[in-house]
Structure 1
Amino acid sequence: MMPQVSDYRVYVEPLAASLGGGFVSYAPELEGCLADGDTPDQALTAIYDAIGCWIEAAVEAGRPIPAPANPPRRIYA
């Protein structure tokens, strides 16, 4: 089963003013997958979109998709 974008760990960090300010977000398991935004919420939304694009490009190129480092636990009642 293919991982979902929300399965990956993401980090959101402030960017220095010298780099334009705002926030950067990245998914460490997916090399080069990063995004930015003016607010943490914008950066978070952008990284999930970037993860989807990263996975789509990997599938099209026939590259392996790394498994999430810590897949989320799903609880079924």
Structure 2
Amino acid sequence: MNINKLVLLAVGLFVLFATTITYTWRWYEMATFGEVTPDIFHTWIAIILSMSLTLNAIYFYRRLKIKNSHDKKLLHYMLANYRIEITPIAKEDGGGFMAAHPELKGCMSDGETQLEAVANLFNAKYEWIKFCLEQGLEIPEASRDK
């Protein structure tokens, strides 16, 4: 792959992820606290999560050898802009955070931190999509891509 295309892909993915994470976090604050309190901490969380997701996506993209339509579909769905919801898990249930793609029924993961939950969600998304493609099940398109 041409390095210019890879850089363009990285920048595009970073902006996409940063926007999605920032708006999801802001929506969560509005729903929970009734107000948005933007600060540098939340901005850095969004940047770190976005960089992690971008690097994972590029690693996946470069590692994947696109030989057939199955792999092309897998790549298409992996790079689709599915909404991410992050919710805290109660201390009685072990604590941490749960991350999910509401459009992909049952595709969720958890982690001790929000970053870990989202990183684990990327792997869960891969396995979820791979299973659906192997079984011939329908995979919904990302609503943000429409």
Q: Fold conserved (TM > 0.5)?
A: yes
Partner of 2:9: none
Partner of 1:7: 81
Whichever structure has more helix as a proportion of its residues is 2
* One-letter code aligned to 2:95: G
1:7 aligned counterpart, secondary structure:
coil
CA-CA distance at 1:6 after TM superposition: 5.2
Deviates more, 1:29-38 or 1:2-11: 2-11
1:55 aligned counterpart, secondary structure:
helix
Aligned-pair identity (%) = 33
Once the two structures are superposed, the pairs formed by residues 1-77 of structure 1 within 5 Å of their partners are: 2-5=76-79, 7-71=81-145
1:70 aligned counterpart, secondary structure:
helix
Larger RCO, structures 1/2 (Cα 8 Å, 6+ apart): 1
Structure 2 residues without counterparts, runs of 5 or longer: 1-72
Whichever structure has more strand as a proportion of its residues is 1
Deviations 1:45-77, CA, capped at 9 Å, x for gaps: 0111111110000000000111001128xxxxx
Q: How many residues align?
A: 72
Structure 1 residues without counterparts, runs of 5 or longer: 73-77
